[in-house]
């Protein structure tokens, strides 16, 4: 699994002009699922995500986790994170998991994050989404397992 975490002061997702997710302080997580990904990988990534210390403490140092700041999360499934651009000018997405594997793992990841007490919203799997990200910092972290 690959995740791009963006620390945000606010974020939202719209589909067909309708707001489907809207948060304040927290993360917008772009999540890509590959062929070899499992529930165990999703669980580990969820735990790492909620405990990652990238929010400022009283001295401005990145010492607080999403849990410490009572942050929220939007999860957006994004198969393009597994793009292969090694040949030609058109990306290949052969490394991305098929929807029948990817969608349940995205849902499982969300379930695991909720298990830590985080308020989680999501985009709509497979839909064309407009993602609004007000990146705070900017802080953008890539996680992969």
Strands 2-15 and 119-122: unpaired
134 is catalytic: no
How far apart are alpha carbons 60 and 58 in whole angstroms? 6
Looking at residue 145, what is its pLDDT? Answer: 86
User: Domain range spanning residue 94?
Assistant: 2-144
**Each residue of 77-91: pLDDT tens digit?**
999 999 999 999 999
| Active-site residue flag, 93 | no
pLDDT tens-digit map of 94-134: 999 999 999 999 999 999 999 999 999 999 999 999 999 99
Beta carbons within 10 angstroms of residue 80's beta carbon: 10
Provide the CATH number for the domain around residue 37.
Answer: 3.50.80.10
Is 6 a residue of the active site? no
Exactly one of 49, 79, 109, 112 is catalytic; name it: 79
| Total number of domains constituting the chain | 1
pLDDT digits (tens, 9 = 90+) for 32-76: 999 999 999 999 999 999 999 999 999 999 999 999 999 999 999
Please name which of 30, 31, 13 lies closest in space to residue 22, comparing C-alpha atoms: 13
Say which of 39, 80, 93, 142 is annotated catalytic.
Answer: 80
Catalytic residue among 49, 78, 112, 121: 78
Predicted confidence (pLDDT) at residue 26 exceeds the cutoff of 90: yes
Report the C-alpha gap between 97 and 101 in whole angstroms.
Answer: 6
Residue carrying structure tokens 């929807």: 99
């Amino acid at each position: 699994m690959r995740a791009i975490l963006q620390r945000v002061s606010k974020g939202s997702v719209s589909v067909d002009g309708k707001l489907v997710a809207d948060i304040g302080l927290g993360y917008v997580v772009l999540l890509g699922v590959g062929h070899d990904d499992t529930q165990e990988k999703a669980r580990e990534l969820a735990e790492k995500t909620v405990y990652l210390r990238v929010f400022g403490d009283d001295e401005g140092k990145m010492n607080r986790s999403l849990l410490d700041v009572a942050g929220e999360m939007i999860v957006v499934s994004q198969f393009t994170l597994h793009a292969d651009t090694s040949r030609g000018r058109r990306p290949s997405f052969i490394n991305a998991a098929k929807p029948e594997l990817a969608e349940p793992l995205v849902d499982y990841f969300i379930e695991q994050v909720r298990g830590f007490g985080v308020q989680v919203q999501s985009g709509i799997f497979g839909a064309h989404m407009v993602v609004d990200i007000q990146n705070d910092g900017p802080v953008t972290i890539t996680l992969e397992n």
